[in-house]
Structure 1
Amino acid sequence: MGCALSGLDIEPAKAVPDERRSAEESTSRWIPEEECTTALQATAAKSLQLSEAQKQLIQESWRILQQDIARVGIIMFIRLFETHPECKDAFFLFREIDDLQELKMSKQLQAHGLRVMSFIEKSVARLTQEDKLEQLATDLGRSHFKYSAPPKYYQYVGVQFIDAVKPFLKERWTLEVEEAWEGLFAHITTLMNKGYQEAERGSDMKKSANPEKADTFSIGSIQNSV
């Protein structure tokens, strides 16, 4: 499979009169799916760059939120599990806990919430160093592949973070602040997705190169998990 790219930074083919355009020529911009994914990711990342004003809004609001990051982390994940209970499948420790009150008291959930807040803090600190922000988010996406946490869940975290922090910022929360945070999370999600896919492709290549070793590893993993 593949895709036809339009509106990207790709030089278009020269215009050809309709009567001369053959079926073969009409598909000349159809490219393999892997190349398409890479091009789309690059374009998405470029289109999600934040303005200096947006970066400043994020930094200013984060300074207010810093004193409540533990509470924000818990609220964010409780909201996430309330609105998207299927997300718990990506969390081995919380998968069997249905009582939200029990989840609120979970030390493991508090610890994970703090780790996510720490990542957001690092992202905010790297807003003026986009190459470091890209590396940070891409690496996180790669690590999520190891944890079997697929990209389909990433977009929910930003939405729940924004809902969780609104009450803390009160009148300081404006439409401009919300759009800035949405832009940051959209950018991070794109980069995490990129990292996850890179790790997935690397894993598939290793399995293809060493099928016997991959089978042995799988059996060993099952045995060790019992």
Structure 2
Amino acid sequence: MGQGASYPGSTSNTSTDFSHVNSLRPVNLRQRGAPHKPETESTMYQSLRSYVGKNAKLPGYMDYLHLSTSDVANLRESWCVLEDNVSKVGVEFFLDILNHHEEIKSTFRQATGLASEIRVNEDLYKHGLYVLAAIKKIISNIDDTEYLEKFFDDLSDKHRKAGVDASSMDVFGKVFCKVMRPILLDKKKWRPEVKDSWVTFFSSIVKVMKKNEMKVENQCEEDDQKPEFKSHVFRRNQYDRHLMEIGCESFNELFSRHPEVMDFLGQYDIIVVDGISVGQILRSHAMTVGTIIGEIQENAGNLENLRLSLAGLGQRRYMEGLDRKLLDMMGPILIQAIRPLVWEEGLWTSELEKAWTHLFDIISCLMKLGYPAIPQDEEERFPNLTEVILLKDTYPVIQQQVDHLTIETFQQMYSLNADAAQYPTPLSPEELSKVSQALKSSSTDCLGLLDQIIPALPNLQSPAPALRSYGTEQKEKEIPGDALDLIGPVFCNTTRPFLLVQGRWSLDVERAWLGLFKEIADMMREGY
């Protein structure tokens, strides 16, 4: 997808540049009429910060990294000089670490012999340049808290996965100041205040990354105490500016460059659920999102403005009679409808899926602010509109693939996934063999039941007698009731490749199928 495209009807055709964020200008005391005292300004600020505490929010204080405007000015001024000598700084940086800090060197690839030492040196050299690139990004976006939070989260994740904790990075500030001093002295830009600002800068980075490590550790402990399946893999409804930018730009460009997408959505007109024409509402939702993309991009850095704008849009939709439930449901359905088109071009990625999911979730979340509060007794029942459409959309694909492969091949594939020992289950070892055999012979029965269930959705009461009857048959065969819960996972593991090659598989699709089979298993047990 190229640059500069816009969706027809959008309020802006500005393409987002992810690498650039405008910076605040440092405070210039002389422009405000204050006496210029360069020899005492930094000392005075440091004394004041020591007096009231490092975390105090003084005037001009950069809250996230705990830097004063004086620190920011020193960092930017000295970085302008260092950036012109970035290669030299990088080389000197990694050589100093290599020669004087074995504890850091030991975190890189280890082996024996000369070849290994060369690889270690190469790693250190690349890491030195990586550190400088990271410094450049931080300084360029030093006033953008949202960007920095995302950046440091990613940075912490990368170091944690590599087995490097933030404490080992304390040395970076000392080494950096050591190697940059000769360059700044040569350019007559070195001052003690500059060193203090860089030391504060690096110590602040280490503190932020340590907090991130603690946050992740605490989250992992909470997750360990909750063994149940996590239904939301993406962190929905938590604003992520980077994902919003990707989602907006790619959405704009897709519909601008490929207007035939709107015609493609017409194939969903044949799906009518509760009197709702799915194709019609998909086109309407795509147009709605297209008209507000420009406004979202304009307010990407101001969540409050974005919240007010989308809440107002939600209120208008409420006055028009649009059910609030549809706000949540249209995003996943629109993604499901469009994914196959982009998949065929080899352009669909997990990052794009995450960005679009996040975009639609945030739009839905903020638009619902314009709706009345949800009644406390309102319950979410299976299947909702999204689940019905995902099931109706994917089952024909599965049927087509089964016909193409022949039922005998499908039975063999189903049998390969039907070993009950591969799934978490309370069944005893004696029961596993009998259950596995029963599962292997259930592939044809499973398709036969789905042929009755899918057309009846969202009504599950119509096929209920057939499901209870099937449950009674399993009871007569002495198949434990818990074994019925395995039919869904076996079916999903067998049919997932059918959907993947068509670009129709997603986490939402898998959850919909597992949810359906949970309902099926419950009805079957009524026959026990």
Q: Which residue of 1 aligns with 2:94?
A: 77
Contact 1:142 1:192 in 2 (8 A): no
Is the counterpart of residue 156 in structure 1 residue 159 in structure 2?
no
5 Å-filtered alignment, 1:176-187, equals 176-187=193-204
Matches within 5 A, 1:32-181: 49-91=66-108, 93=109, 95-96=110-111, 106-170=121-185, 171-181=188-198
Structure 2: which 5+ residue stretches go unaligned? 1-54, 57-61, 228-528
Relative to the length of structure 2, the TM-score reads: 0.28
CA contact (8 A) 1:65 1:165 kept: yes
Q: How many residues align?
A: 167
Residue number in structure 2 paired with 1:30: none
Aligned equivalents of 1:209, 1:147: Cα separation in 2: 26
Length-normalised TM-score, structure 1: 0.62
SS at match of 2:71: helix
Task: Give the gaps of 5 or more residues in structure 1.
Answer: 1-41, 211-226
- Residue aligned with 1:172, SS: coil
Percent identity over the alignment is 25
The letter of the residue matching 1:198 is: K
* Shift in CA distance, 56/98, structure 1 to aligned 2, threshold 3 Å: farther
CA distance in 2, matches of 1:121, 1:165: 14
Find the aligned partners of 1:103 and 1:117 in 2 and give their Cα distance: 21
CA–CA distance in 1 between the matches of 2:154 and 2:213?
A: 8
Q: Is contact 2:65–2:205 with CA below 8 Å preserved after alignment?
A: no
SS at match of 2:85: helix
Higher helix proportion: 1
Q: Please report the RMSD computed on the Cα atoms of aligned residues, expressed in angstroms.
A: 3.2
Residue 60 of structure 1, CA deviation: 1.0
Greater relative contact order (Cα < 8 A, sep 6+): 1
Please list the CA deviations of residues 90-120 of structure 1 after superposition, one character each: whole Å capped at 9, or x if unmatched: 21x3x45898xx6699443332222111100
Match of 1:148, SS state, is coil
Say if 1:97 and 1:117 are closer, same or farther in 2 by CA, change over 3 A: farther
CA distance in 1: counterparts of 2:81 and 2:190, whole angstroms: 11
Shift of 1:153: 0.5
Distance 1:56 1:104, change over 3 A: farther
**1:46, CA displacement in angstroms?**
5.3
Describe the shift of the 1:168–1:194 C-alpha distance in structure 2 as closer, same or farther (beyond 3 A). same
Superposed CA deviations along residues 40-86 of structure 1, whole A, max 9, x for unmatched, are xx88x959622212211111111111122233123223222333311
Assess, with a 3 A threshold, how the Cα gap between structure 1 residues 201 and 85 changes in structure 2: closer, same or farther.
Answer: same
CA–CA separation in structure 2 for the residues paired with 1:152 and 1:208: 28
Match for residue 218 of structure 2?
201
Alignment CA distance shift 1:104-1:147 (3 Å):
closer
Match of 2:367 in 1: none
Alignment deviations for residues 171-217 of structure 1 (CA, whole Å, 9 cap, x no partner): 3111011111111111111111112222333344445555xxxxxxx
